[in-house]
């Protein structure tokens, strides 16, 4: 059991005296609504049953000691509450350090340090939000260890603040919100402009959600993520000279077509088109799911990928290969890239009887074309963060 292994690793490294607490926060997959969260649109993510496990013990001094079972070669990385600055060489520890810093910025200063061991069974740099999972599990730890009065929605906002201000990634709210607010068997229909949300049950009778990991690594900070966001912000400012809106997500497809010539650059026009049309696809997809029309939901997933490929240009040969090979298989209801893109994963809805052929055939075609293997995960939808022991 993972929980037991994480605790044992903690005791081997840091001893077994004192109270050791164990926590879990999930990863997430976004079913539809990509690159809409920073454009004032809707998203439809769900938390997964894979995620980040953490064992922690409070210290009496201000030292911080971090260890990741996923990066064993790095060993124990030491810091302190007096060294909460972003450092490239600190690697993954910038995420928990960023959360400690962000809590402090919000008036909740940790009074003492702690020892922390993490293990994640989310594929690293896969687009399933391993970094946001680390942020939220750290936030939940801080809340529990020091008695900070924060809700799970607060944790999401602090996590986004940390990633924006400490780690320098200009992400939207979706990843942290989906992880902090997850509910078993449900996706979250979230309006990122207002943070109004509702839970929608995911009922896929006779079908499964399959994650296909391209194994092409990518980092959000050094990808073109921030560039895409900047392009959308410029397009928005141009549109605002022609129509009264506060975000691209305010526009319908018809309104976009009416005012799109206000955007003076062809590339920016394509970026804005994706943001507008993807938002409307997400609204339609949730309506289809409520009507138990999984076939329509799948069609909208497919259209989402085409838009991400052609208008937003964030897919690449790896993700395109996974999706295009998936579309060839009978029993695939829908398939699309998920996450920021530039590598990472696809999400597919696959009929039960097609899951094994899907993994075999897509896997073989991918390895033949790309030169290395993809990994496949049949996943379930889980709850948000929790203290396990």
Active site residues: 175
Asked if 347 contacts 31 with a C-beta cutoff of 8 angstroms, the reply is: yes
- Cβ neighbours of residue 98 under 8 Å, at least 6 residues apart? 86, 135, 162, 163, 165, 166, 167
Contact 375, 346 (CB under 8 A): no
| Radius of gyration of the CA atoms of the chain, in A | 21
Beta-strand pair 63-68/114-120: parallel
Closest by Cα among 381, 385, 383, 386 to 30? 381
- Token pair of 15, please? 């001893």
7: alpha, beta or left? (left if phi > 0; alpha if psi -120 to 50): alpha
Count of CB atoms within 10 A of residue 370's CB?
16
Q: Where do we find the tokens 């209801």?
A: 333
């Amino acid at each position: 059991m993972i929980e037991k292994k994480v605790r044992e690793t903690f005791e081997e490294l840091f001893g077994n005296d004192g109270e050791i607490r164990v926590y879990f926060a999930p990863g997430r997959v976004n079913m539809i609504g990509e690159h809409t969260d920073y454009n004032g649109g809707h998203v439809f993510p769900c938390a997964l049953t894979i995620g980040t496990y953490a064992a922690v013990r409070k210290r009496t001094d201000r030292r911080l000691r971090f260890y990741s079972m996923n990066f064993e070669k790095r060993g124990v990385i030491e810091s302190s509450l007096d060294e909460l600055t972003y450092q490239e060489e600190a690697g993954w520890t910038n995420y928990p350090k960023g959360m400690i810093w962000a809590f402090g910025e919000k008036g909740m200063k940790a009074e003492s340090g702690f020892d922390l061991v993490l293990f994640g069974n989310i594929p690293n740099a896969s687009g399933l939000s391993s970094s946001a999972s680390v942020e939220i599990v750290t936030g939940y730890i801080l809340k529990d260890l020091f008695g900070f009065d924060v809700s799970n929605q607060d944790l999401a906002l602090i996590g986004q603040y940390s990633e924006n201000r400490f780690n320098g990634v200009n992400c939207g709210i979706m990843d942290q919100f989906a992880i902090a607010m997850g509910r078993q068997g449900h996706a979250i229909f979230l309006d990122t402009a207002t943070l109004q949300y509702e839970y929608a049950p995911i009922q896929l009778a006779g079908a499964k959600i399959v994650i296909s990991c391209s194994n092409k690594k990518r980092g959000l900070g050094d990808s073109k993520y921030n560039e895409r966001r900047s392009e959308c912000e410029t397009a928005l400012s141009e549109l605002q000279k022609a129509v009264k809106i506060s975000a691209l997500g305010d526009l319908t497809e018809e309104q976009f077509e009416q005012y799109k010539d206000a955007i003076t650059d062809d590339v920016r026009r394509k970026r804005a088109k994706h943001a507008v049309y993807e938002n409307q696809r997400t609204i339609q997809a949730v309506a289809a799911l409520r009507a138990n029309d999984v076939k329509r939901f799948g069609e909208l997933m497919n259209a989402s990928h085409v838009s991400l490929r052609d208008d937003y240009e964030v897919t690449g040969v790896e993700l395109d290969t996974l999706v295009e090979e998936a579309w060839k298989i009978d029993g695939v209801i829908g398939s699309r890239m998920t996450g920021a893109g530039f590598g990472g994963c696809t999400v597919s809805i696959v009929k039960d009887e097609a899951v094994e052929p899907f993994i075999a055939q897509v896997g073989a075609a991918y390895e033949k074309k790309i030169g290395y293997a993809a990994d496949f995960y049949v996943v379930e939808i889980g709850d948000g963060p929790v203290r396990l022991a």
